[in-house]
Structure 1
Amino acid sequence: MRGVLIQDAIRMAVGTLTVVPVPAPRVIDARVARGAMLLAPLAVVPLAAAGALVTLLPLPALPAAALALGVVALGSRGLHLDGLSDTADGLSASYDRERALSIMRKGDSGPSGVATLVIVLLVQCGALAGAISAGHGIFAVVVAVLAGRVLLAIGCARGVPSARPEGLGATVAGSVPVLGAAVSVVLGSALAAWGGTFAGLPWWQGLLAVFAAVCAGGLLLWRCVRRLGGITGDVLGACVETGVTAALLCLAA
C-alpha cells in the first residue's frame, strides 16, 4: 500500500509539474497530494538539467539565459508563469475577494498580468545572464528551479487554507505537515550550500539563494492568503516564479 501511495505521488508530481508523460495516479487524496508537493523539487530535476545544459551553448550570456529559462518554462507547460499572470491580475483588479477570484479563474491575461510577466522574465533573464557571465550558470539554473519548487510544500502546509472549494488549490491545500515543509527547506538549503562550493562560490551564496526564494515566495503567499482567503493553483505558480526570481538575483554576482 505504501509503495502504491509513493508511486501515485510521483505520478501526480511529474504529471502536474512537467510535460513528461506518465500514467495518471490511481487515486488523488491528501496523502498523495502531500507526497507530490514534497517530491516537487525532485520531479523537476530533468527540467533543471535541461535548462542548465542550454547555458553551455556557445552563445552570448543573455540569449543563453533566455533559452535556458524558456526550456524550463516549456517543460512545465508555462504553468507557473500562467499562475503568476493570473495572480497579478486578481490582486490588482479589485478589493472584492470573489471578484478577484473570478478574474483569476478566467485565465486570460490583463494589463497587470502582462506587465508582471514581462518584468519578471526580464529580471530572470538578466540575473541568469549575470550568473552565466560569472561562470556558474549551471548552478544558478539548478538551484533557482529547485528552490522555486520548494515553495510548493510551503504553500500547501497545514494551516494555509484553499481560496476555493474546488480546483488544484483545494486538492493540495493543507496537505503538507509544517515539519515536512521545514525539512524540505532545510534539505534544499543544505544541498545549495554544498553545491555552491563545487561551482566555485562561497557556501553561503547558495544558502542565501534558497533563503531569498523562501522569503520572497512566502511574502507573496502571505499576501494572497490575506487578500484571497487562501491558495489556488495560480497562487502556487506565482509563488514558484517569485522564488525563482529571488534565487537568481542572489546568484547573479
Structure 2
Amino acid sequence: MPTNDLIVSYPDFFMSEFREDSLWLKFSGNFFHNALSFDRRNFLHDYFEHIRSDKTIKTLVIHSAFHESGSDEYMRFFLFECPERNLGHLGFSNTMDRYDLHRFCNIVDQTILDIATMNKMIVHICSGDVLSLFMNISMACDYRIVAADTVFHNVYQEIGMLPKGGAPFFLCKTLGASRAKTLMLLNQLITAREAMDNRIADRVVPLEDLESAAAEVARKFNLLTPQTLQGVKKLTHYAIQELKEYLELETHEIIKIGQREQFSDQ
C-alpha cells in the first residue's frame, strides 16, 4: 500500500490524494510567490523524491490550476515596481533580487528534471488561461491532456524575457527548430487546438471531462508492469544530461538579462 506520508495539504500551493492506484497532485495559488516563500529550498524536490521512492505508485497525475499565476503576476515578478516602468524594462523589485531570480530558475529547473527522471508515468492536465511556464513544465510529463478552453500565454514576449522551463529544448525535439521558433516568437497565444497540432498536448477534451480523461489514461498505465513503464520511460529520456545542460544555459541567459546595465541591484 502507498504511504500516507504522501498525502499533503498546503492551501494555495498544492494538495495530494490517492485515486484508485494513482497519486494526484493539484497545484494552485501564486506559483511565483510560493516558489520563493517556502523555508526549505528543496521542499518540492524532496516531495518528488519521496514519490520516487514509493514502489507501489506507478502513475502520478499533476493538475496545474495556477489561476492566480497569470500574466499580471508574471509581470509583477519580473518588472520594476516603480511609476516610470515600461514594458521591456526588466529589473529587480523590492521583493526580488538577483538571488531570488536565480533561486526561482533553479526551482523550475529542478522540477523539470524531477519530472523527466521520475520512475513513474506522469499525466499532466490543465485548463483555462495558462502561462507558458506551466505549458513547459507539462512538456516534461509523459502524457498531456488539456481542456478545450485552454489558452497558453507567451507573456515573456511582452517584457523581453526568455521562456523558462525548457520550451526550446522540448519543442525543437518534437517540431524542429524552425517551427519551434515560430511558435515561441510569433504566437502570443496558443489555443488548445494549436497545442494539439504542435504536439504540446496529446489530447483535448471538454472541461467537464478533464479529470475523468486523466483517470482513464492513468488506469491504462497502471495495468502495465513496473519494469515496462520504468524501462520505456528511461529509454525515451536517455538524453537527460542534455536536458540538464540546456536548463543550465537557459538560466544563465535569463540571469544575463537581469544583469544589464539599466537594471539596479537592491
Q: Shorter-chain TM-score category? A: 0.3 to 0.5
State which structure, 1 or 2, has the greater radius of gyration over its C-alpha atoms.
Answer: 2
**Structure showing the higher helix proportion among its residues:** 1
Higher RCO (Cα < 8 Å, 6 or more apart):
1
Q: What TM-score comes out, normalization by structure 1 length?
A: 0.32
**Structure showing the higher strand proportion among its residues:** 2
